[in-house]
Amino acid sequence: MKALTLLFVATAGIGLYGQGPQPMPATSPAVALAALIEEAQLKNPEIRATSYSYQAAGHKTKAAGALPDTQVMMQQLNVGSPRPFAGYTNSDFAYIGLGVAQEFPWPGKRKLRQEAAGLQAQAVNAESETITRAVVEQLKIAYYRLAYLQQTLTILLRDDKLLTDIEQIAESRYRVGKGNQQEVLKAQLQHTRILQEINTHHREVAEQQVRLKRLLGRDQESPDVVTEPLSERALPPDASELRRQAGERNPEVAARKAMASRADTMVELSRKEFRPDFGVEYMYQNTDRRFRDYYQATLTVTLPNRGRRRAELAQAVEEQKAAGAALDAETQRRMADVQEQYEFAKLSGDQLKIYREGLIPQADATLRSAMAAYESNRQDFETLLSSFRDVLDIEEQYQKELSEHESALARLESLTGVTLP
């Protein structure tokens, strides 16, 4: 009995030194995922940066369709000497001139340039949406993982209390000579393992809190996020509608579509570049009052270098082909991603049903039966401990599977732009 007494003191010491299973203090009430998503969309620095980039691209669209810069000119013509105003009062050839010049591209060029810049802005906007969805997806996955950890911690604490009851039964049996010291030691070993799991959970919870605060744009010293319990969401009966939505609303596909349309526009513009541009210049020339003024109008025609223009057209055609191929590749990639995540979520949903309707109730029933049988000396302690461990493992696996199921739905939402119920 002396060895057993010392062991009891050592076990009690775990609680005395603050290493026993303690729940993580909730510094704030549970926050819904939707509220965090809204906060991230407003405060996440990556999302804000992409918003500014899109606004900048919009200004570039206006500039692309504008006329070339207007030129204002001043001239002075001297007669008889390089000195300023030489001959101005005694020669009708000396003058001071003021003029203006403006270039005019061939009709249609400005419109095509503006369209190309607008499509480039659409691509930037799609890339901005890609980053926004990526941030939201990461936020959801971190939230689901944190919810799994917080829920699992509750399970560990509950089962640790149940293990205390098992340990007390083992001690009682040992005192009356029905059990042995090894049973008590095994119960205490299992208690220590639970303490280790709780410590591991605390560490991963801290990692998820850091990740969430970064995505939310919060200071790392801000209160920790407390999640709501997870619940399984429904999955559409098939993936066809999700694939269609991905083809229409996926931002990566939208960016490729914009770039493909821009490539078409650039081919058309390259063909227009074979047409000449024009320039108009008007000059007023003033001499001394004794002489008449001069008025001069000039029309210029800029003839394109056809060799250079042919090379540019060939380049634009090849880029058009490349953009079309990139669009096809991106579309196929996203369709495959949707199908992959759908199949994962579907199989995960089947697994969750097995846990809910089979494994969890069966494990609970087996544990209750094992406790009753062990207490009445009809079953050995190893079987009871195994049943206890099965309950703990199955409940943890269920919560993990639920987190992974919801994470797959989050990826589907990011790919398709559809909010799943």
| pLDDT single digits (tens) 364-383 | 999 889 888 887 878 788 88
DSSP-assigned letter for residue 377: T
Mean pLDDT (the chain) is 88
Least confident of 47-56, 99-108, 248-257, 403-412: 47-56
Query: For residues 397 and 330, is the Cβ–Cβ distance under 8 A?
Result: no
* 323/62: higher pLDDT: 323
Q: pLDDT > 90: what percent of the chain?
A: 62
Q: Is a pLDDT exceeding 70 seen at residue 66? A: yes
> Domain ranges in the chain?
28-416
Residue 15: pLDDT over 50? no
Q: Please list, in sequence order, all residues whose beta carbon lies within 8 angstroms of the beta carbon of residue 403, skipping any fewer than 6 positions away.
A: 144, 145, 147, 148, 230
pLDDT greater than 50 at residue 385: yes
pLDDT at 380: 82
Task: Determine the average pLDDT of the residues in 338-342.
Answer: 96
At residue 298, φ and ψ (nearest 5 deg) are -135, 135
Is 210 a residue whose pLDDT tops 60? yes
How far CA 261 is from CA of 106, 360, 406, in Å, comes to 22, 55, 36
Torsion angle defined by CA atoms of residues 181, 183, 187 and 188, in that order, rounded to the nearest 10 degrees:
20
pLDDT at res. 8: 31
Give the CATH class of 28-416. mainly alpha
